[in-house]
């Protein structure tokens, strides 16, 4: 497997009125051609910021202050804006989480999709339009010949999301970053989009970086899984190992939050107590300790390192290996 993307000790900061705040801290992973890595965690854990940094889209207030991002031999963190612009859409594409804020409201969607083709594939307007219509049809949009003339506000949320997916896939990129790609879609269309992403991967050997909180999508799509909490990687493993033997209390809490088919209708759904801490109020020691039922004094004082729990399985927890009974009477059964 050819190594395509390397994220090495990535640290991202944002300048705010309260000073510099670290949003992503010491994140490292590798992604090969044809492989899918899923980044999971609650909102505010740093998943989307990590993916945006690969695209060079952190804005004026955000910056990579430590580490490197290497893609296909190029160091993205050293690239100019013009160099990144040539990569975006052709070799690296992203499905954004909010399509209404990502699409231009005053340009018909057909022109927005076709622009990507004209810029990166040197096609005529007529050829680009035909490719755009075909791509809209593939992502499940009815009457694509008519829809390409519409403006984003005329489409439903689900259709706008499918337009974003079509735009990201149209040039068959080597790396597809999908930030909550199926959030606004119904189950039938979600399955269709996931199948389309798999098909692209099989045809072109593309790598997929999937950002999601949907563990069902993770089980369906991912080869490797990265669990993030408060800007740090707290556990990483292959998808089979993570679902069968999660080691970190946070990962186990996420697993227990999955509704079960055998759950009694009066049984309350489980939720991890508390919330992800603000960047201004990161706890000392282990960042999860205020919400962790296993926390001891050491957890409050010392920050654990990401250590190997087994072959290819790493976890950031002082209690790793002693967490089997953290959530009793609950078994997660997911077919992967």
Judgement on whether residues 87 and 43 belong to the same structural domain of the protein: yes
Judgement on whether residues 253 and 201 belong to the same structural domain of the protein: no
Contact 320, 309 (CB under 8 A): yes
* Predicted local confidence at residue 128, as pLDDT: 92
Judgement on whether residues 163 and 283 belong to the same structural domain of the protein: no
Q: Give the model confidence (pLDDT) of 127-173 as tens digits.
A: 999 999 999 998 888 999 999 999 999 998 778 888 988 888 888 89
Query: Could you give the dihedral angle defined by the CA atoms of residues 310, 312, 317 and 321, in that order, rounded to the nearest 10 degrees?
Result: -20
Contact 116, 95 (CB under 8 A): no
* Predicted local confidence at residue 18, as pLDDT: 82
User: What contacts 188, CB < 8 A, 6 or more positions away?
Assistant: none
* Predicted local confidence at residue 326, as pLDDT: 54
Cβ-based burial of 59 (10 A; exposed 0-12, middle 13-18, buried ≥19): exposed
* Number of domains the chain is built from: 2
Residue 299 lies in a domain: yes
* Predicted local confidence at residue 15, as pLDDT: 92
Judgement on whether residues 262 and 214 belong to the same structural domain of the protein: no
CA–CA distance, 24 with 9 (Å, rounded to integer): 10
* Predicted local confidence at residue 324, as pLDDT: 54
Query: Structural domain of residue 131, as residue ranges?
Result: 3-222
**3-state per-residue secondary structure call for the chain:** CCEEEEEEEEEEEEEECCEEEEEEEEEEEEEECCCEEEEECCCCCCHHHHHHHHHCCCCCCEEEEEEEEEECCEEHHHCCHHHHHHHECCCEEEECCCHHHHCCCCCCHHHHHHHHHHHHHCCCHHHHHHHHHHHHHHCCCCCHHHHCCCCHHHCCHHHHHHHHHHHHHCCCCCEEEEECCCCCCCHHHHHHHHHHHHHHHHHHCCEEEEECCCHHHHHHHCCEEEEEECCEEEEEEEHHHHHHCCCCHHHHHHHHCCCCCCCCCCCCCCCCCCCCCCHHHCCCCCCCHHHCCCCCHHHHHCCCCCEEEECCEEECCCCCCCCCCCCCCCCCCCCC
Residue 260 lies in a domain: yes
**3-state per-residue secondary structure call for 261-281:** CCCCCCCCCCCCCCCCCCHHH
Residue 214 lies in a domain: yes
Judgement on whether residues 189 and 129 belong to the same structural domain of the protein: yes
Judgement on whether residues 216 and 252 belong to the same structural domain of the protein: no
* Predicted local confidence at residue 35, as pLDDT: 94
* Predicted local confidence at residue 199, as pLDDT: 82
Q: What is the pTM of this model?
A: 0.88
* Predicted local confidence at residue 322, as pLDDT: 63
Query: Nearest-5° angle of CA 144, CA 149, CA 151?
Result: 110
Residue 227 lies in a domain: no
Domain CATH code at residue 101: 3.40.50.300
Judgement on whether residues 88 and 181 belong to the same structural domain of the protein: yes
Q: Compute mean pLDDT per 10 residues along the chain, 336 residues long, and list them.
A: 91 91 93 94 91 92 93 91 90 84 90 90 90 90 92 87 87 90 77 82 88 89 94 95 92 86 72 88 92 90 88 88 51 39
* Predicted local confidence at residue 323, as pLDDT: 54
Q: How many CA atoms lie within 13 A of 171 on its CB side?
A: 27
Residue 196 lies in a domain: yes
Judgement on whether residues 192 and 268 belong to the same structural domain of the protein: no
Residue 334 lies in a domain: no
Boundary of a domain, candidates 186, 206, 222 = 222
Judgement on whether residues 56 and 98 belong to the same structural domain of the protein: yes
Sheet of strand 207-211, all strands in order from the earlier edge strand to the far edge: 92-95, 175-179, 207-211, 36-40, 224-229, 232-238, 313-315, 307-310
* Predicted local confidence at residue 335, as pLDDT: 40
Residue 61 lies in a domain: yes
Q: Give the model confidence (pLDDT) of 263-292 as tens digits.
A: 666 677 788 888 999 888 899 999 999 999
Residue 99 lies in a domain: yes
Judgement on whether residues 192 and 269 belong to the same structural domain of the protein: no
């Amino acid at each position: 497997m050819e190594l395509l993307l390397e994220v090495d000790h990535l640290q991202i900061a944002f300048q705010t009125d309260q000073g510099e705040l670290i949003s992503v801290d010491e994140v490292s992973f590798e992604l090969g051609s044809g492989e899918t890595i899923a980044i999971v965690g609650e909102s505010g854990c740093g998943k989307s910021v990590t993916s945006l940094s690969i695209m060079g889209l952190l804005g004026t207030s955000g910056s990579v202050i430590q580490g490197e991002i290497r893609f296909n031999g190029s160091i993205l963190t050293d690239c100019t804006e013009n160099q990144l612009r040539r990569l975006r859409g052709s070799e690296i594409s992203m499905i954004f989480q909010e399509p209404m804020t990502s699409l231009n409201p005053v340009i018909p969607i057909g022109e927005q999709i076709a622009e990507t083709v004209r810029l990166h594939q040197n096609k005529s307007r007529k050829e680009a339009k035909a490719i755009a219509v075909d791509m809209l049809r593939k992502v499940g949009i009815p009457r694509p010949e008519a829809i390409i003339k519409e403006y984003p506000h005329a489409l439903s949320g689900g259709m706008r999301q499918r337009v974003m997916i079509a735009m990201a896939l149209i040039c068959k990129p080597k790396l597809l970053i999908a930030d909550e790609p199926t959030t606004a879609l119904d189950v039938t269309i979600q399955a269709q989009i996931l199948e389309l992403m798999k098909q692209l991967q099989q045809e072109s050997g593309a790598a997929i970086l999937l950002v999601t909180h949907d563990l069902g999508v993770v089980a369906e799509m991912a080869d490797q899984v990265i669990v993030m909490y408060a800007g740090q990687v707290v556990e990483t493993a292959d998808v089979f190992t993570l679902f069968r033997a999660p080691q970190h209390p946070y990962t186990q809490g996420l697993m227990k939050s999955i509704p079960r088919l055998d759950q009694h209708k009066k049984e309350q759904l489980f939720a991890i107590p508390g919330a992800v801490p603000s960047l201004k109020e990161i706890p000392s020691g282990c960042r999860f300790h205020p919400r962790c039922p296993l926390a001891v004094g050491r957890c409050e004082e010392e920050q654990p390192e990401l250590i190997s729990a087994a072959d290819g399985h790493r976890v950031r927890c002082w209690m790793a290996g002693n967490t089997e009974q953290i959530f009793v009477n609950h078994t997660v059964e997911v077919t992967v």
